């Protein structure tokens, strides 16, 4: 039964809490607020008791899926569980109440935290310097591309194209287009890695950079990174790394050591900010020494024991965020890194890789796995076999909801037919992975024995299968009250 709207639950006169009658004289509201701002009619707000309000919102919260409720193996998105302690720390009054316009000398703690976080990220990634300003991964991509453009223009050449493998996330070509470059697609080879011949065929004096995701969206580590780095740099182009999948590399390999010139982090994927509801996120960008001059201003510097926001970069691309980015996300990332330390961070990636490989080893009999390349923190199965029996990957994803799991990412990356992209993340226990394996194996059997069950799923969720097109169109539907 779907939960009613709070307006439908409302009963006139019901309130959340009551205060003793005031024995002070009521001030004249007209004297406090200009008449034109005073309502003529009462606001139509729901009237509910405290317990009704709590139950209403709890009921809503469990109708939808979230990582606090159950497993969320949404490939590429890293929907891992984030320790609640980091939320608590970001809400300490000193962090939560500091005003972004506060004078530097009154915000030393906040500035120090950002300064240190930026240094930690540089150390973790092997980059020379890191800006914290961008508000998301895609914003980091745009910032990185702006720096790449500034670098080339500073050398007096206007290169025009950015090369992107066909397995890339959609934000990559979008950022390239917004930054005024042309995106050129590079094919993947049979191992799911960059096809070096195709790369060579497209690489020329017009190439500004290659944007590589590593591990890529198939979950494979790009073992040719060093060779690619040599090829790219020989032509004077730069190498960008989409670091959204960094939870597979922490403490194992540093992109800076592989020759990358720009790298964006997704703090809301790798470093303990929950996401999925549209933000806030944070997409810091690390650069190699070639690009330091072009970093966004201001940067946090330390002079005579005082942290300051300073415009240190002479050829800066400018400021890319309101104030200095999303501070609460920085606090969570900082406390996560400090709490785990370097050993803990390595363990994060080791667990992410082991969890994905355990799932893959148990599932590759029941579904097709079109590669022989070893997986990192995620992998992409193909539902081709099931499709030939009349059941789509979409049906399999919907059926998983009946077993209480969030569906994996489907139909992405585009280069795998009927793609099912699974990222278990590092935080899940073997028992959870086992029950997910059991559910998927059962669905594979159902496809053979009773495919209609799969095709008509889900049936155990608050609403059954939605009309995708209508649902997307209704997303800007608004209540009128
Ligand atoms: C999530 C993701 C992005 C985009 O990051 P946002 O923070 O959502 O803008 C880019 N590339 C890859 C590989 C991703 O997984």
Helix and strand numbers (H, E) in the chain are 17, 12
Write the pLDDT tens digit of every residue in 50-68. Answer: 999 999 999 998 888 999 9
**DSSP state letter for 105:** G
Does pLDDT of 200 surpass 60? Answer: yes
171 lines ligand 1 (CB under 6 A): yes
Asked whether the predicted pLDDT for residue 469 surpasses 90, the reply is no
Backbone angles phi, psi at 460, to 5 degrees: -100, 10
| Domain extent at residue 265 | 84-340
Report pLDDT for 478: 46
What is the tens place of the pLDDT at every residue in 223-244?
999 999 999 999 999 999 999 9
Whole-Å CA distances, 449 to 118, 285, 400, 418, 435: 55, 51, 17, 20, 21
Rounded to the nearest 5 degrees, what angle is found at the Cα of 113, between the Cα atoms of 111 and 115? Answer: 65
Residue 205 lies in a domain: yes
231 and 249 share one domain: yes
pTM of the model: 0.91
At residue 292, does pLDDT exceed 80? yes
Joined together, the tokens standing for residue 243 give 């670091």
Residue 385 lies in a domain: yes
Do 56 and 88 share a structural domain? no
| Res 467: pLDDT | 86
Residue 163 has φ and ψ, to the nearest 5°, of: -90, 140
Name every residue whose Cβ is closer than 8 Å to that of residue 181 and which is 6 or more positions away in sequence: 145, 149, 160, 161, 162, 208
Residue 405 in this model has a pLDDT that exceeds 90: yes
Same domain, 392 and 465: yes
In this structure, what token pair is assigned to residue 95? 């962090």
Q: Please give the tally of structural domains in the chain.
A: 3
156 assigned to some structural domain: yes
Residue 413 neighbours by CB under 8 Å, 6+ apart: 166, 167, 168, 217, 218, 380, 419, 421
Q: Is 79 in the pocket of ligand 1 (CB under 6 A)?
A: no
> Is 97 inside a domain boundary?
yes
355 lines ligand 1 (CB under 6 A): no
Given a cut of 90, whether residue 278 has pLDDT beyond it is no
Domain boundary among 288, 317, 340: 340
328-365 pLDDT tens trace: 999 999 999 999 999 999 999 999 999 999 999 999 99
Q: Measured from the CB, is residue 76 less than 6 Å from ligand 1?
A: yes
pLDDT tens digit sequence for 166-179: 999 999 999 999 99
Average pLDDT over residues 410-431: 96
Asked if 117 and 330 count as a contact pair (C-beta separation under 8 A), the reply is yes
Return the structure tokens found at 465: 């299968």
Residue 330 Cα to ligand 1 middle (Å): 18
- Does any domain span residue 422? yes
DSSP letter assigned to residue 101? T
DSSP 288: -
Same domain, 280 and 219: yes
Statement to judge: residues 197 and 311 lie in one domain: yes
Residue nearest atom 14 of ligand 1, based on CA coordinates: 244
Asked whether residue 466 is domain-assigned, the answer is yes
Query: Does the Cβ of 138 fall within 6 Å of ligand 1?
Result: yes
CA neighbours within 13 Å on the CB side: how many for 183? Answer: 20
Q: Are residues 309 and 356 in the same domain?
A: no
Q: What is the mean pLDDT of the chain?
A: 94
The CATH number covering residue 385 comes to: 3.90.1150.10
Q: Can you tell me the distance from the alpha carbon of 33 to that of 25, in angstroms, rounded to the nearest whole number?
A: 17
Is the same domain home to 251 and 303? yes
Residue 480 lies in a domain: no
Protein residue closest via CA to atom 5 of ligand 1: 137
Report the pLDDT value the prediction gives residue 158, as an integer from 0 to 100. 84
My answer on whether 336 and 384 are in the same domain is no
Closest of 124, 77, 160 to residue 423, by C-alpha: 77
Q: Which of 304, 321, 340 is the last residue of a domain?
A: 340
Establish if 315 belongs to a structural domain: yes
106 and 170 together in one domain: yes
User: Is residue 275 very low, low, confident or very high in pLDDT (cuts 50, 70, 90)?
Assistant: confident
Q: Are residues 326 and 361 in the same domain?
A: no
Shared domain for 127 and 189, answered yes or no, is yes
Find the 67 Cα to ligand 1 centroid distance in Å.
19
Q: Are residues 210 and 89 part of one domain?
A: yes
- Does the CB atom of residue 133 touch ligand 1 within 6 A? no
**Looking at residue 479, what is its pLDDT?**
41
**What is the structure's pLDDT at 471?**
77
């Amino acid at each position: 039964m779907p939960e009613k709207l709070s307006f439908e639950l409302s009963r006139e006169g019901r309130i959340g809490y009551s205060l003793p009658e005031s024995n002070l004289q009521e001030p004249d509201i007209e004297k406090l607020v200009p008449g034109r701002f005073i309502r003529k009619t009462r606001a139509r707000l729901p009237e509910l008791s405290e317990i009704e309000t709590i139950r209403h919102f709890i009921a809503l919260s469990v109708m939808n899926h979230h990582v606090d409720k159950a497993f969320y193996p949404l490939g590429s998105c890293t929907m891992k569980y984030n320790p609640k302690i980091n939320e608590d720390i970001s809400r300490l009054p000193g962090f939560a109440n500091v005003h972004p316009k506060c004078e530097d000398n009154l915000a030393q703690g906040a500035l120090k935290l950002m300064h240190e976080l930026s240094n930690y990220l540089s150390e973790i990634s092997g980059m020379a310097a890191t800006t914290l300003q961008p508000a998301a991964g895609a914003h980091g991509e745009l910032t990185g591309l702006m720096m790449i453009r500034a670098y080339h223009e500073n050398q007096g050449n206007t290169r025009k194209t950015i090369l992107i493998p066909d397995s890339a996330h959609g934000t990559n070509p979008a950022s390239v287009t917004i930054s005024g470059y042309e995106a050129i697609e590079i094919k993947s080879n049979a191992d799911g890695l960059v096809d070096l011949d195709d790369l060579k065929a497209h690489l020329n004096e017009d190439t500004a950079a290659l944007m590589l995701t590593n591990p890529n969206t198939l979950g494979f580590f790009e073992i040719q990174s060093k060779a690619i780095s040599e090829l790219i740099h020989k032509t004077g182009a730069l190498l960008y790394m989409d670091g959204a999948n960094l939870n597979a590399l922490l403490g194992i390999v540093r992109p800076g050591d592989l020759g990358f010139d720009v790298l964006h982090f997704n703090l809301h994927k790798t470093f303990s900010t929950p996401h999925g509801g549209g933000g806030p996120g944070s997409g810091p960008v690390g650069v190699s020494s070639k690009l330091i001059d072009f970093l966004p201003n201001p940067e946090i510097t330390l002079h005579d024991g005082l942290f300051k926001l300073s415009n240190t970069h002479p050829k800066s691309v400018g400021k890319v965020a309101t104030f200095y980015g999303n501070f609460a996300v920085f606090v969570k990332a900082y406390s996560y890194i400090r709490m785990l330390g370097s050993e803990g961070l390595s363990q994060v990636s080791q667990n992410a890789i082991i969890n994905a490989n355990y799932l893959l080893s148990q599932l590759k009999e029941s579904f097709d796995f079109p590669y022989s390349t070893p997986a990192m923190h995620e992998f992409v199965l193909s539902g081709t076999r099931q499709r030939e029996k009349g059941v789509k990957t979409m049906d399999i994803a919907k059926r998983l909801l009946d077993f209480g799991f969030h569906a994996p990412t489907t139909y992405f990356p585009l280069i795998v037919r009927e793609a099912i992209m699974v990222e278990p993340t590092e935080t899940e226990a073997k028992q959870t992975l086992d029950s997910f394996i059991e559910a998927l194996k059962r669905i594979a059997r159902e496809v053979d024995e009773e495919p209609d069950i799969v095709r008509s799923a889900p049936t155990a969720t608050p609403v059954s299968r939605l009309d995708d097109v209508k649902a997307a169109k209704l997303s800007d539907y608004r209540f009128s009250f």
